[in-house]
Amino acid sequence: MDSEINFQFLRPFGPIICKVTIPKQIIKNLNNYIDQIIENEKKINELNYGKNLAGKVHQEFQLEKDFIKDSKWGNFLSGCAQAWIKKTIDKDVKEFKLISTWIVRQFKGEYNPIHTHGGHLSGVGYLKVPSTFGEYKQSDKRNNQNGMLSLIHGSKMFLSDSTYTITPKVGDFYFFPNYLMHTVYPFSGSDEERRSISFNAYIDENIYNVFQSKNS
């Protein structure tokens, strides 16, 4: 896994964020699976995850355990997470317990308010992206954040940023600690779907808990 994935480590503020690319075959497997699920109303109801999430979006549902295993998605998450921790703090993750992994189907006018995740590690990646996110009402605005993901940490101060804005691109996946606040802005100008995939997981408590005694 490590040798096949290109890791980028981003340091816009405190916590180190890891960016990788989802292999094309896994993206294909995920999208084919999702397209089948959304055609099955009974299955969608069984897998509905919206009640557990903050999103004000069209649809949110979990992936089935058998698919997570068969599609190699679970292996991708655990392998990347282990490499991220090893390369950044030189710790060997021996326990990676996936709590949940889910799909978010977002359409124009929908959004995800500021929130955090459960577990220890989280992440988000992109499976489909609209051809345009539309323009701001006032065209002279400096930054168009339509459809963007914004990571938030600390306060904006001298020599310190508090936000990091990500433009969604198919295949990009970002790993970050669960406590990192983030939000997704609404978009306009397209009826196409913005399809993302996220996860929460636990790792070894003695690695995550930096205040735990080395001797405990």
**Could you say which DSSP state residue 4 is in?**
G
The mean per-residue pLDDT over the stretch 145-169 comes to 90
> pTM for the whole thing?
0.92
pLDDT at residue 213 in the model: 43
The mean per-residue pLDDT over the stretch 37-58 comes to 87
Q: Is the pLDDT of residue 99 over 80?
A: yes
The mean per-residue pLDDT over the stretch 185-201 comes to 95
124 with 75: CB under 8 angstroms?
no
- Three-state SS for 150? strand
The mean per-residue pLDDT over the stretch 108-128 comes to 96
Q: Is the pLDDT of residue 216 over 60?
A: no
Would you state the structure tokens that stand for residue 47, as one six-digit string? 């897998």
CATH hierarchy code of domain 2-204: 2.60.120.620
One-letter amino acid for residue 7 of the chain:
F
Beta bridge partners of 101: 199
Angle among Cα 184, 187, 190 to the nearest 5 degrees reads: 140
Query: Cα-flanking dihedrals φ and ψ of residue 183, to 5°?
Result: -150, 155
Angle among Cα 74, 210, 158 to the nearest 5 degrees reads: 100
Q: Is the pLDDT of residue 95 over 70?
A: yes
